[in-house]
Amino acid sequence: MEDLTNTSETDRVPIKLLLFIDKRPSSGEYVKQVRSYLKQLETDQAFLLDVVDVSEQPYLVEHFRLIATPALVKFSPGEQHVISGSNILTQLEQRWSQWQQESNTSLKTINEQFHLEKSRNGKQKEPNELIHSVEVMKLSDEIFRLNQEKEDLEAQLQFKNRIVAMLAHDLRNPLTAASIAVETLELGYGQKSTGRSMSLSPELTPQLLRHAKKQIRAMDRMISDILQTAKGAGADLQIQPQEISFNALFAEALASMQNRFEARSQQINIDIPQDLPHVYVDSGQIQRVLFNLLDNAIKYTPKGGQIHVSALHRTTQKIQICVQDTGPGVPPEKCEAIFEDSFRLQRDESKDGYGLGLALCRRIVRAHYGQIWAESDLGEGSQFYFTLPVFRS
């Protein structure tokens, strides 16, 4: 984070700004434009400007719910405002007078409080006394914040303890299945002299290998998702975006899940245009989103059912993906709650899983300035949508 602080003297409350950029070459030009414009105004209005690289501090992106860069956030004084897009300078010029008024209002409030204290006490507080009062208020706010953090940390600790116990229990099933497959292969290729050998058909050997690999991948995804979620909502997701074809990303995810579709005799219908523009994403993280959504679709679609995956070029800056199942659906009033950490519908309490997959999907998508949501009706299946940024040179 680069600090660009206006040091000129002023009688106004400073306007505090955060400018969010990424590592694209064009980002430097936006910084220059905003800085140049603010420099012209520094004699009339104090300001504090921080430049934030979203890849280094993605938790701030989640906090302010940003969906695109560059983005300029005015977070103090007064109400929070966010402006973004290619015309960010024009929007800043339009907003600046309003922000100045909010700054003046804040100064007026401070002066009124000052004179109220003066009238009550019959004398004006000395500067040191006023500073002391302000510091007491700041300390009170800090104590409140620390108490909130303490409660959050205690909840996270309980959550992690619960996850460790669940992980130890649920890993046994895929581990046992993989072990049986490997031991069977070992017997099939064992030495006859040891008396521990058996005949394996040509078809059985590759089946056992695929089964073992499937279980190992399941364990790997389970462990990865849990470890990432256990870091907490503010943890750095290590996003390293690059230009890539979404078609290629999806093809890789589909290939890894093909055995599961076949095992449940499910049909997957794909409607992804070949001319879909490339996206600017971390391929590993978006693979995790696809794995989770496809895994859920397979789990909840009945045997012999259909799953539909589609994509479209929604805007010049976004593509939209939809994974649709033909399962039991989600109550409409729960379509937002299912993206919360460890939330599970009552009907799913007996099923495998932790209620972490969709929460992790939301964190990953938001870190890419995208949105994710669900639409569903009971008995009608569910549609899970998410957006990703289009690559722009």
Mean pLDDT within 318-322 = 96
Identify whether the C-beta of residue 343 lies closer than 8 Å to the C-beta of residue 337. Answer: yes
Give the pLDDT band of residue 311 (cuts 50, 70, 90). very high
Mean pLDDT within 50-60 = 79
Q: Is 232 left (phi over 0), alpha (psi -120 to 50) or beta?
A: left
Q: What CATH topology corresponds to 240-389? A: Heat Shock Protein 90 (3.30.565)
Q: Report d(CA 309, CA 186) in Å as an integer.
A: 40
pLDDT in tens, 121-152: 555 444 444 455 555 555 666 676 777 777 77
Q: What's the pLDDT score for residue 2? A: 44
Q: Which residue has the higher pLDDT, 295 or 350?
A: 295
pLDDT in tens, 262-283: 889 999 999 999 999 999 999 8
3-state SS assignment for residue 387: strand
Residue 312 pLDDT > 80: yes
Q: Report d(CA 281, CA 279) in Å as an integer.
A: 6
Q: Report d(CA 367, CA 240) in Å as an integer.
A: 11
Identify whether the C-beta of residue 356 lies closer than 8 Å to the C-beta of residue 229. Answer: yes
**E strands within 333-376?**
372-376
Residue 246 pLDDT > 90: yes
- The domain limits of the chain are 2-125, 129-170, 240-389
CATH number of 2-125: 3.40.30.10
Going by DSSP bridges, is the β-strand pair 306-312/267-271 parallel, antiparallel, or unpaired?
parallel
Q: Report d(CA 13, CA 34) in Å as an integer.
A: 20
pLDDT in tens, 201-210: 777 888 888 8
Q: What's the pLDDT score for residue 195? A: 54
Residue 154 pLDDT > 70: yes
